[in-house]
């Protein structure tokens, strides 16, 4: 982390978990455990149907609500899709785009991820742009090349002013939901590489100001070490974000000085 230049963000990704009836007890427990004074912003990205309830419950404990996906279209005949305007309307401040599960199960490519990021920016929502390599790519030593390509494609046509509202999440696919976390060295190396890619496109200042999160089996035990890395500005947390106590421990791990 480097709080002098950029925001630290701890964001949960609930994926397709939780019911509306579970939000109240979850938020009560979270509120009890979260520190009142925090070194980071706290976000919970949830299924769109849960955002209004989460937004209401999160208000008095300063937890922002976010979406997990968005349509790249503005409005119209796109059955089942949810637009950025609709997310903004129910109070979403952030939204994940390009999660590897969307890329893998829904065939999303870099162009679509770019279009979704732009759709969110147009409605004032911060995109959390996910990138990350497969195990095969890592073993073939293609990690940085692949991740650099994803970052460039996702940011194509996004100007420096818009970049200020973008968050990048480095999530190695092999670390997601597997309990296999990237080592702090591995995660730092790629996050540093991502910042270098952004520096090349936008220059030193904008690159210094972008928050880059790590995601992939981040938990209450390993968060502190990962967050101590200079280019890791927070976490995108799946499993552990479903447990209020563990999630709070990760939030507390951002308070390192």
Long-range contact pairs involving 239-243 (C-beta distance under 8 Å, separation at least 24)? 239/177, 240/12, 241/11, 241/12, 241/13, 241/14, 241/44, 242/12, 242/14, 242/17, 242/18
Give the nearer residue to ligand 13P in terms of CB position, either 138 or 202. Answer: 138
Provide the mask over 192-221, with x wherever binding to ligand 13P is found by CB under 6 A and - wherever it is not.
-----------------------xxxx---
Q: Is 172 among the residues that bind ligand 13P (CB under 6 A)?
A: no
With 0-12 / 13-18 / 19 or more C-beta atoms within 10 angstroms meaning exposed / middle / buried, residue 204 is: exposed
Give the nearer residue to ligand 13P in terms of CB position, either 54 or 207. Answer: 54
Give the nearer residue to ligand 13P in terms of CB position, either 40 or 207. Answer: 40
Question: What are the residues whose beta carbons fall under 8 Å from the beta carbon of 218, sequence distance 6 or more?
Answer: 181, 226, 235, 236, 237, 240, 250
Stretch that binds ligand 13P, among 150-158, 159-167, 188-196, 233-241 (CB under 6 A): 233-241
Give the nearer residue to ligand 13P in terms of CB position, either 47 or 202. Answer: 47
Reference 115, options 129, 105, 104; nearest CA is 129
171 catalytic per annotation: yes
Q: Is 171 among the residues that bind ligand 13P (CB under 6 A)?
A: yes
DSSP state of 169: E
Q: How far is residue 30's CA from residue 1's CA, in Å, rounded to a whole number? A: 23
Three-state SS at 241: helix
**How many helices, marked H, and strands, marked E, lie in the chain?**
12, 8
Q: Which residue is nearest to ligand 13P (CB)?
A: 238
Stretch that binds ligand 13P, among 20-28, 59-67, 155-163, 230-238 (CB under 6 A): 230-238
Q: Is 176 among the residues that bind ligand 13P (CB under 6 A)?
A: yes
Smallest separation, CB 96 to ligand 13P (Å): 7
Q: Is 238 among the residues that bind ligand 13P (CB under 6 A)?
A: yes
27 φ, ψ (degrees, to nearest 5):
-70, -30
Smallest separation, CB 204 to ligand 13P (Å): 29
Q: Is 13 among the residues that bind ligand 13P (CB under 6 A)?
A: yes
Smallest separation, CB 161 to ligand 13P (Å): 26
Q: How far is residue 244's CA from residue 250's CA, in Å, rounded to a whole number? A: 10
Q: Is 155 among the residues that bind ligand 13P (CB under 6 A)?
A: no
Reference 172, options 231, 100, 235; nearest CA is 100
Give the nearer residue to ligand 13P in terms of CB position, either 9 or 240. Answer: 240
DSSP state of 97: E
Of the residues 22, 32, 99, 101, only one is catalytic, namely 99
Contact set with ligand 13P (CB under 6 A): 13, 99, 171, 176-177, 215-218, 236-240
> What amino acid positions are annotated as catalytic residues?
99, 171
């Amino acid at each position: 982390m480097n709080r002098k230049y950029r925001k630290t963000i701890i964001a949960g990704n609930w994926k397709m978990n939780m019911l509306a009836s579970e939000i109240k007890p979850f938020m009560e427990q979270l509120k009890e455990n979260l520190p009142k004074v925090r070194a980071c912003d706290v976000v919970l990205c949830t299924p769109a149907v849960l955002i209004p309830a989460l937004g209401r419950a999160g208000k008095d404990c300063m937890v922002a609500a976010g979406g997990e996906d968005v349509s790249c279209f503005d409005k119209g005949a796109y059955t089942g899709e949810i637009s950025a305007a609709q997310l903004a309307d129910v109070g979403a401040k952030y939204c994940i785009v390009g999660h590897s599960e969307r890329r893998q199960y829904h065939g999303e490519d870099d162009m679509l991820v770019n279009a979704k990021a732009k759709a969110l920016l147009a409605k004032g929502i911060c995109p959390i742009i996910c990138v990350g390599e497969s195990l095969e790519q890592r073993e073939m030593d293609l990690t940085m090349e692949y991740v650099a390509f994803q970052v460039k494609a996702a940011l194509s046509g996004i100007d420096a002013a818009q970049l200020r509202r973008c968050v990048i999440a480095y999530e190695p696919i092999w670390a997601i939901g597997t309990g296999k976390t990237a080592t702090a060295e591995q995660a730092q190396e790629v996050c540093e590489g991502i910042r270098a890619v952004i520096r090349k496109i936008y220059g030193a200042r904008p690159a210094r100001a972008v928050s880059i999160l790590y995601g992939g089996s981040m938990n209450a035990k390993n968060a502190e070490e990962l967050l101590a890395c200079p280019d890791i500005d927070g976490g995108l947390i799946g499993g552990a974000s479903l447990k209020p106590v563990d999630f709070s421990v990760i939030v507390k791990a951002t308070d390192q000085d």
